[in-house]
Amino acid sequence: SYTGQLLVATYPLIGNYGVPDDKVEHGLPVNFESDRIQVSALIASDYTEDYSHWNAHQSLGDWLKKHKIPALFGIDTRALTKILREKGTMLGKIIFDDVDPGFTDPDQENLVAKVSTDKVIEYGSGETRVLLVDCGVKYNIIRHFVSRGIKVIRVPWDYDYAKIAFDGLFISNGPGNPKMCDTTIQHLTKSLQQDIPIFGICLGNQLLALAAGADTYKLKYGHRSHNQPVLQLGTNKALITSQNHGFAIDSDSIPPDWETYFINLNDGTNEGLRHKTKPIFTVQFHPEASGGPTDTEYLFDDFLKNVQSFKKNKA
């Protein structure tokens, strides 16, 4: 979800923890959520090469160099954050040696095509099969499924999965403007005509909304923190969630056969949808955490209950 963004760290000292190694287990990196750094650049106040952590393998600077990601420090990031907080999300650029790269608007690009896998990859060995449409998936999502005995079939964002046999459909998180993913939306529109269980997270939430006939819009600030409170409608249950998104579903455009599932308790915006008669739901936040709170991990179990019920009825 960070692709195309300049990341500003508000904590003053950056780099003192270092970066862990790239150990792999079950086909997934243990310490990372993707195969490479996704931000376009890092902006910090103070940076140190002197790291100290039991799991550290290299410095932040060496890691950034390895992935060819520019970084800038010595900046008053509190002042910069105040500008962003008051004026909202805006385009930015970093100029080195008086070479001006110009502005690039990531909202006008299909960022998902840049971060999605380009091949079909399978994880786990369970009998229950979940097809995962990779729009920029965080690896902890896959870990959650595999740890529950699920076989995950990860496919590219524009893959036509109509001829693949699976028991549940998952649409992942990812970066950018959801309206740039026309092919994914077209595939989801066809899937919504069936009764197969579907679960979407973050960008997946927005893509399913567009496929269902709802609309999305860009937030002025976006939701970007590990402490976003949401309310599950129909209950008095408030939950703390991790979020990183700049777009949201227009609640006034939700079709009559759908309902709002969660709302954000800070600004009242939509945080999820649920179909009234089919086993389909989506959330805007990240129940898989990593990092962040785990209040909503149960949603993976809710989805898999739908999957098992569908599988039983199909048999």
CA atoms within 13 A on the CB side of 187: 23
Which of 205, 223, 215 shows the shortest CA–CA distance to 272?
205
Structure tokens at 279: 């086993």
- Alpha helical stretches, state H, 28-74: 60-66
SS3 310: helix
Q: Find the largest Cα–Cα distance for the chain.
A: 66
Question: What span, in angstroms and rounded, lies between the C-alpha atoms of 220 and 47?
Answer: 30
Contact 76, 44 (CB under 8 A): no
CA distances from residue 26 to 63, 129, 235 in whole angstroms, order as listed: 23, 17, 38
- Alpha-carbon span 131 to 238, nearest angstrom: 30
Q: Which residues are catalytic?
A: 202, 286, 288
What is the C-alpha separation between 74 and 94, in angstroms, rounded?
13
Give rounded-to-5 percent helix, strand, coil for the chain: 25, 30, 45
Sign of torsion over alpha carbons 62, 65, 69, 71: positive
Q: How many CB atoms lie within 10 A of CB 149?
A: 12
